[in-house]
Amino acid sequence: MIQVENLSKKYARHVAVDNISFSVEKGDIVGFLGPNGAGKTTTMRVLTCFMPPTAGKATVAGFDVFEQSFEVKKRIGYLPETPPLYPEMSVQDYLTFIARLKNVPGDEIKSRTNQVMERCSVADVKSRLISKLSRGYRQRVGLAQAIIHNPDVLILDEPTSGLDPKQITETRDLIKGLSGEHTIILSTHILPEVEAVCRKVIIINRGHLVATDSVEHLKHRGIGNAVQVQVDTAGNGDASTVRQKLEQVPGVSKVVEKVVAEDRLIFEVESLPDRNPRPDVARAIVHAGWNLLELKSTTLSLEEVYLQLTGEAIEPAAVPVNGSIQ
C-alpha cells in the first residue's frame, strides 16, 4: 500500500531525511517513531504530498507522490497534531463541508457525516461551534474529517493528544477498528500507545532508518535467549549458591541477581548466541533439590529498545489536571 524507496529530503545544507526505504502493507497499523528532529514530520509531509522529495521515490496505493499527487491525496486521510478546523463552524456543518471538499457523492454526504460523528463520539456536540469545544472534542472532530471520505490510508500525528484516559482508550479502540479497512501510519511519542495499537514499528533517527520490524521482534532485539528464573531453595542454599549453579549450566554466559528475598530468588540468565538455556537451567535447579517457581523468556520494553536505537528519552504522556475532561 505504501512503498518508500531511497527517499531523501534536503533543506539547503540540512539533510532531514537521508536515503530511507520501508513498506507498509494493506491493512497494517504502523507506529512511526523517532526523536524530535528525526525526520518524521518531513517524511509524513512527503507522503501526503505537502512537499516533494529531493531524491528517491514514494508511492501510496500505487500512485507516485510527486507525479500523481492528486490521486494520492484522494486516497489519504491526514490528521496533523493540530487538527485543521474552522472554529466559526458547527461540527456538523464543518464535516459536511469537508465531505464536499473530498468529493463524497452528494447523496451520501448526510449519511456519511452522521456515521463518522457517531464513530468518533462527537454526535452529541454536532450543533455546537467548534470554537466552543474542548481540546479533546476538537481532536475527535479532526479524526472524523480524516476518515469521512473512507480513504485507503490514514496518517495520524499524535491522535490522542489532549484526550483524557477514557477518551484515549476509546480512540485507540477506534484506530484498531479501522485497521484492515484502512492502512494506518501512527506517529506518537507515547510508546504504550504504540504497543497497544500497532503491529509494526518504523524508527528513524537523524534522518536515517534505524529499525523496521514487528513490535514483538523489536522487544526481543539484542537480548539473545535470556530467561528469567524464579527459585525457592526451601532453606537449602542462598543466592550465591544458586547463581554459581546457574553459571555452570552449559551455554550460559551471564547470571544477574534481580530479586533476593526469603521466599524467592529471581535471576536473569543470558546465554551464548544460538543457545537455548531453558531445558538445562530447569534441570540444574531441579537436580539441586530446589523448587522452580517460574522460567520465562525475557524481553525488552519498547521504550528500552527505542532508547537503545536513538539514545533519546521519550516524552511522558499528558496527565489530566484536576480531573478535567477534555
Residue 322 lies in a domain: no
Same structural domain for residues 214 and 123?
yes
Same structural domain for residues 204 and 118?
yes
Residue 261 lies in a domain: yes
Same structural domain for residues 69 and 171?
yes
Same structural domain for residues 204 and 248?
no
Domain encompassing residue 145: 2-219
Same structural domain for residues 49 and 30?
yes
Residue 270 lies in a domain: yes
Same structural domain for residues 66 and 162?
yes
Same structural domain for residues 173 and 242?
no
Same structural domain for residues 273 and 173?
no
Residue 63 lies in a domain: yes
Total domains in the chain come to 2
Residue among 196, 194, 285 at smallest CA distance from 246: 285
The answer, as to whether pTM is greater than 0.85, is no
Is residue 160 within 8 Å of residue 188, measured between CB atoms? Answer: yes
Same structural domain for residues 41 and 127?
yes
Residue by residue, pLDDT tens for the chain (326 residues) are 899 999 999 998 899 999 999 999 998 999 999 888 889 889 999 999 999 999 999 999 999 999 999 999 999 999 988 888 999 999 999 999 999 999 999 999 999 999 999 988 899 999 999 999 988 889 889 999 999 999 999 999 888 877 788 878 888 888 888 887 889 999 887 888 888 889 899 999 999 999 898 887 777 665 556 788 999 988 888 888 999 999 999 988 889 888 877 668 999 888 887 777 889 999 999 999 999 999 987 766 777 778 878 875 444 444 333 433 33
